[in-house]
Amino acid sequence: MERLNQALYSAFEQDARVHLIGEDLLDPYGGAFKVSKGLSSAYPERVLTSPVSEAAISGVAGGMALRGLLPVVEIMFGDFSTLIADQVINSLTKFRAMYNGAVDVPVVIRAPMGGRRGYGPTHSQTLEKLFLGVPGLRVLAPNTLSDPGQLLLDAILRDPGPVFFVENKLLYLKEVLGQEALAEYQVEQNTPTDSYAATTRLQIQGAPKPTLTLVAYGYMAELAREAQQRLAFEHEIFCELVAPSQLAPFGADGALDPLLLASIQRTRHLLTIEEGSYSLGWGAEVAARAAQALGPALQAVQRVAAAEAPIPASVPLERANLPGVDDIVAAARKMV
């Protein structure tokens, strides 16, 4: 959370074209999840607290971007991203292509997603899969293994846009893992490019050769890391964990993030992990591309995801609905 807040400050400081639009942004409140705290005091002219109009503010941001500004939109709960779908799909992501490359649409739409807080069926969802596969839309989701602030800053200042930036609510409470916290891992990180944002691969130092690739993004990367530990120390199953921060686009012609592809080529077993509901999700696309790339060399694929039912408010029922560490461990044990 601090990293994201700091990134917004840096963006405002570095470029006067940056504006923030969203509901309840003004201090002392500073947005429902406080990511925008302080900004309205520091930059009162450039923080626009808006009516409860998700469709319009995303479109307004699109218009601002067409005309030379760098707008950032905060959607209070990611669940309400359904209301921006038309603007994102039929306007913001269309302009560059349908106007024959003559315009850029540097909009970043930030949306907190995810459950485990008892907010119930319409305030707990992980809906980004609805936006994956929309041509022209980059979907990013930070995790604790690489700097979320840098990811956001680059999206705001350097991406020709539009970008859908997914922030898991529970990640707001987590610290980014520094060198010390990661000391027990062998860490591999890519150099972010125009094609792929930051991806991190973790493997426990000194462990035997991994036989399974866990791939997870956002908060699920945290849970997957816990599962990686338990699998190693309780079940002697050794995994590589790959945590991409770019969910879309995947790359042309069936491409896969090179770090992820290399991992699957080594382990030949793939477990995809996401908090969205099971069918037709991100994991399905990863699995399909892994199968395309490896052919018969790919020995097993499984998916861990949320149940296909509305997320209950009751905490024990919610826990049963959403994927947890136990689910990852159980799925992995069936595979190797």
Partner 1 sequence: MSADYYRQMARIRRFEETVLEQFSSGLFYGTTHTYIGQEANAVGVLSHLAEGDIVFSNHRCHGHFIAYGGDLRALFAELMGKPSGVVGGIGGSQHIHWRDFYSNGVLGSTAPVATGAALAEKVQGSGKLAVIFLGDGALGEGVLYESLNIAALWQAPILFVLEDNRIAQTTPIELNLAGDIAARFAAFGIPVAELDSSDLTEIADAAAPLFGELRSGGGPQALVLHTARFGPHSKGDDTRDEAAVARLRAERDPLTIHAATLDEAERLGIEAEVADEVAAAFAQAQADPEHQP
Minimum CB separation of residue 41 from partner 1 in Å reads: 19
Task: Please state the separation of Cα 80 from the chain's center in Å.
Answer: 16
Residue 95's CB is within 10 A of a number of other CB atoms, namely 20
What are the beta bridge partners of residue 110? 74, 165
Residue 160 interacting with partner 1 (CB under 8 A): no
Among positions 1, 6, 26, 94, the unique one binding partner 1 when judged by CB under 8 A: 94
CB-based contact 268:299 (threshold 8 Å): yes
Backbone angles phi, psi at 290, to 5 degrees: -65, -40
Task: Please state the φ and ψ torsions of residue 300, each to the nearest 5 degrees.
Answer: -160, 145
The yes or no reply on residue 223 touching partner 1 (CB under 8 A) is no
Candidates 23-31, 36-44, 68-76, 191-199; binding stretch for partner 1 (CB under 8 A): 68-76
Pair type for strands 70-74 and 18-22: parallel
Judged by CB under 8 A, the stretch of 83-91, 123-131, 137-145, 247-255 that binds partner 1 is: 83-91
Sign of the torsion formed by the C-alpha atoms of 121, 126, 130 and 131: positive
**Taking the CA atoms of the chain, what radius of gyration do you get in angstroms?**
20
Which is nearer to partner 1, 84 or 242 (by Cβ)? Answer: 84
88 is a site residue for partner 1 (CB under 8 A): no
Name the residue among 299, 277, 226 with its Cα closest to residue 121: 277
Question: Alpha carbon 109 to chain centroid distance?
Answer: 12
Residue 252 binding partner 1, by CB under 8 A? no
Per-residue DSSP letter, 295: G
Beta carbon nearer to partner 1, 91 or 277:
91
In the shown chain, the binding pattern of residues 28 to 67 toward partner 1, with x for contact by CB under 8 A and - for none, equals --------------------x-xx-x-xxxxxxxxxxxxx
**Does residue 3 interact with partner 1 by CB under 8 A?**
no
Kindly state whether residue 68 participates in binding partner 1, applying the rule CB under 8 A.
yes
For the bound state, the minimum distance from the C-beta of residue 46 to partner 1, rounded and expressed in Å, comes to: 8
List residues binding partner 1 (CB under 8 A). Answer: 19, 48, 50-51, 53, 55-69, 71, 86-87, 90-91, 94-95, 97-100, 102-103
